[in-house]
Amino acid sequence: MHHSIGNSIKFSQITLQLEATRPSRFVLGTALAFERLDFITESIESSLNRFLFFYITQISKVKMKLNTKTKSLSKVQTHLVAECFNKLYIGGQFVDSIDGEKIPTYYPATGELLHELPRGKANDVEAAIVAAEAAWAEGAWAGMAAAERAEIVAKMAQGIEDNIEMLAEIEAADVGKPYRQAAMTLGGAAGEGKYWCSLGKVLDAEQDVPVNSGGGEGGVPPAEWDVVYRRDPIGVIGLISAWNYPMNVAFRKVAPALIAGNCAILKPSEIAGLSCMFIGKLAQDAGIPPGVFNVVTGDGEAGAALAASPSVSMIAFTGSTLTGSKIMGACAQKLSQVALELGGKSALVVFDDTDLDKAVETTMKGFLTNGGQICTAHTRLVVQESIKSPLLKRLKEELEKLPFCNDPITEKDRGDRIWEDGMTDVVQPVVCESQHKKILGFLYEAKAAGVEVLTGGGVPDEATVGNSGGYFIQPTVLINVERDADVWQKEVFGPVLSVRSFSTEDDAVLEANSTAFGLASTVMSSDPAKAMRVANRIRAGAVFATSTGEGLLAEHPAVSRGGFGFSGVGRELGIGGLHEYTELKSVNYSGFSIADAKKKHTG
């Protein structure tokens, strides 16, 4: 779950003019789509002139709403006056950032200013590291039994559950997802947190476990050895979370990191991370010792400082592959550990023995979940040739009926339905202006290259959405896409589906495995044996084999997951996800037994 923004070209004077007017996002569209360096194939100057002409001719048609204020937004802003949403959390206290700078964030549905959060910098990160080092050196937290730590962290999980309504309104306003979805996923974060806490006693039971066999010949240590395994905390660690599911992604790192005995610094995404700031209050209220857990909001400068610090022994990151590779490079300089949950370009493989209605519903959920802003989004449809035409016909009809969610904060009845029965029934905005431009850049490039647009392909008109200024993209289906096209190979992170067809099982596997990513994929067939054969050949960390689409994108806290290739390093969830935050060591006792050592230790 993630992601960051690609390279950009900055035209300073023009940018200042555009920002000063802040017109409707519906007319920015392709006018600013040259944000991405890698798709410009002609003169920058001629492209700029053409797009600016388009922008200037359209801006006069826009009805500006600079003086309006969305009523629901005002309610959310009353939540955000709390100290935890306006300060950093360092050493057990809420403190102002050293330089006092702010980062503005906007309501994706209207473009209105939502909040300004502290822009923590390298000096603030250093202050948090000092606090964490002091707590680590003091040793009380690491010295507790994991089950004791888990009891404290459980209070934090309960705090999420007790504040779901407030947090769901904040995430709806921050990310642009319907309140219904936000509340549902936050409930999942609380439940997952409680699962992590149940593993505290499991981790305790793994301490001093005898090494009975390593497998193979000579796999048992000599009889005179008394060898055991232990799992120790790593030390001071950095947690850098994503904006698409802010609380879920952050707490998926915070809970196991703390239960394992580490001291941690959380750096939420600056794009949408307001709910993550509440974790500082949860930690304070739960009684987490000062310095054991810290929160520093900020942009790339803060994240880079955290990753590069020699005092930070591990970075756990969810986000783009590009940023993940930079973090890995920074950590390589000091040989510190990384756990990276990165991008995806998941394939939905549909065989012709699949029920057509189920195939259409699954396709929609696969690429529209959270507005297509989820790392496991199934944004590549690999469909058997014999069912391609009827499936695409039905898909086009259903997509063009979908309404847009023009006020996510109050949207309590409709959603993407990914973890519910029924079809996706509303389209949310994308998270921010920069992501909006990035997605439109992909679409412009695809159309310029001759890719056929079945439906969508741009921004909806203002009358269709019902308000202006929002970051909306039409659900888009691109057909007969070349395998080397960017929209097939790269993570667009928006409501864009690319389609290719196949004839044989081998062809299906080839298409599914035709990108550098390997986070998730799904095989749909009414033939269980065929579904299993194909699923087992797909190179991805999580594969769904189904006849109905049920369970698509489903996660359970006990089931570990992660990525192949460009999709990451390490595993999340399950006992393996907890082990990521520990160091495995062996202790060899000789001359006396471990039982004797334990008697003296406890006595």
Domains of the chain: total: 2
Residue 76 in domain: yes
Residues 281 and 398 in one domain: no
Residue 189 in domain: yes
Q: What's the CATH number where 445 sits? A: 3.40.309.10
Residue 4 in domain: no
Task: Quote the domain boundaries for residue 553.
Answer: 347-558
Report helix, strand or coil for 279: helix
Q: How far apart are CA 284 and CA 272, in angstroms?
A: 22
Provide the 8-state DSSP code for 522. Answer: E
Structure tokens, 173: 């306003």
Residue 46 in domain: no
Residues 100 and 187 in one domain: yes
Residues 270 and 396 in one domain: no
Q: How far apart are CA 390 and CA 149, in angstroms?
A: 55
Residues 233 and 333 in one domain: yes
Element (H, E) at 520: strand 520-524
Please, which pLDDT band fits residue 18 given cuts at 50, 70 and 90? very low
CA–centroid distance for 305 within its chain: 21
Which residues touch 204 (CB under 8 Å, ≥6 apart)?
145, 146, 147
Element (H, E) at 562: strand 561-562
Query: Quick check: is 263 catalytic?
Result: no
Residues 380 and 450 in one domain: yes
Residue 230 in domain: yes
> Which entry of 341, 411, 433, 511 is annotated as an active-site residue?
341
Please give the pLDDT value at position 595: 84
Residues 363 and 495 in one domain: yes
Residue 130 in domain: yes
Q: What is the pTM of this model?
A: 0.88
Please, which pLDDT band fits residue 128 given cuts at 50, 70 and 90? very high
Residues 364 and 422 in one domain: yes
Residues 354 and 337 in one domain: no
pLDDT, tens only, 402-412 = 999 999 999 99
Please give the pLDDT value at position 214: 60
Please give the pLDDT value at position 601: 66
Residue 449 in domain: yes
Q: Is there a contact between 238 and 593 (Cβ–Cβ < 8 Å)?
A: no
Q: At 307, phi and psi to the nearest 5? A: -70, -35
pLDDT, tens only, 236-288 = 999 999 999 999 999 999 999 999 999 999 999 999 999 999 999 999 999 99
Residues 305 and 354 in one domain: no
Report helix, strand or coil for 543: strand
Query: Quick check: is 375 catalytic?
Result: yes
pLDDT, tens only, 298-335 = 999 999 999 999 999 999 999 999 999 999 999 999 99
Residues 354 and 336 in one domain: no
Q: Say if residue 47's pLDDT is above 80.
A: no
Residues 366 and 326 in one domain: no
Residues 316 and 358 in one domain: no
Please give the pLDDT value at position 5: 31
Residue 137 in domain: yes
Element (H, E) at 305: helix 300-308
> Which entry of 197, 263, 331, 375 is annotated as an active-site residue?
375
Q: What's the CATH number where 155 sits? A: 3.40.605.10
Q: Is there a contact between 203 and 578 (Cβ–Cβ < 8 Å)?
A: yes
